[in-house]
Amino acid sequence: MTTGLERIAMKAQCDKKLQFTSLTHHITPQLLWSSLNKISTKSSVGVDGVSVTVAKEKFNEWSPEIIEAVHRQGYHAPPVKRVYIPKPGKSEKRPIGIPPIIDRALQGAVSKVLNSIYEQDFLDCSMGGRPNRSAHHAVATLNEAISGRKVSWV
């Protein structure tokens, strides 16, 4: 975490009732760049046709206007590409939405800012939708709890 995110995490941890009113200044070019670098280069392109490689090459061109739009609360998410993929073992197809790479990078940056606040509220045993936690961690925690003492029901 960066210093700014560490500070808001500490504030959230110290004062559980604190309401954050402005977080957009935490969306920085560095945070956006780190979020962009976490997107796989094999990732599908969105409706704009921009790949991860191209987004990285042209980062200095598009990032200032995206960040400025977020800061002035004028950012509007672009359309999502609708793709139908086959369901395993069935003839049906299921729809999925593929947002543009640039929007995914911004979503990742916003997620980091919000996670620094909300992580403070979760118990250590809470697993769902948290960074570095998965269903496998939940099963391992449950197995540990069950094997450690007599359990009548789950």
Burial of 15 (0-12, 13-18, 19+ CB in 10 A): exposed
Pick from 119, 26, 31: nearest CA to 128: 119
pLDDT tens for 14-33 read: 888 888 888 888 999 999 99
Token pair listed for 25: 């200044």
- 150 in the same domain as 112: no
Q: Write out the residue range of the structural domain in which residue 111 sits.
A: 3-121
Query: Does 43 or 124 have the greater pLDDT score?
Result: 43
- 148 in the same domain as 90: no
* pLDDT value of position 2: 56
- 137 in the same domain as 106: no
Q: What is the mean pLDDT of the chain?
A: 90
- 105 in the same domain as 130: no
Token pair listed for 11: 């504030």
Query: Does 130 or 110 have the greater pLDDT score?
Result: 110
- 146 in the same domain as 100: no
Taking the C-alpha atoms of residue 24 and residue 30, their distance in angstroms, rounded to an integer, is 14
- 129 in the same domain as 97: no
Q: If you search the block for the tokens 């969306």, which residue do you land on?
A: 27
Burial of 68 (0-12, 13-18, 19+ CB in 10 A): exposed
Sequence-distant (6+) residues with CB within 8 A of 54 are: none
* pLDDT value of position 136: 87
Quick one: pLDDT band at residue 146, thresholds 50, 70, 90? confident
Mean per-residue pLDDT for 81-95? Answer: 93
Domain count, the chain: 2
pLDDT tens for 110-124 read: 999 998 888 888 877
| 43 touches 148 (CB < 8 A) | no
Taking the C-alpha atoms of residue 98 and residue 109, their distance in angstroms, rounded to an integer, is 18
Query: Does 119 or 106 have the greater pLDDT score?
Result: 106
Query: Does 128 or 98 have the greater pLDDT score?
Result: 98
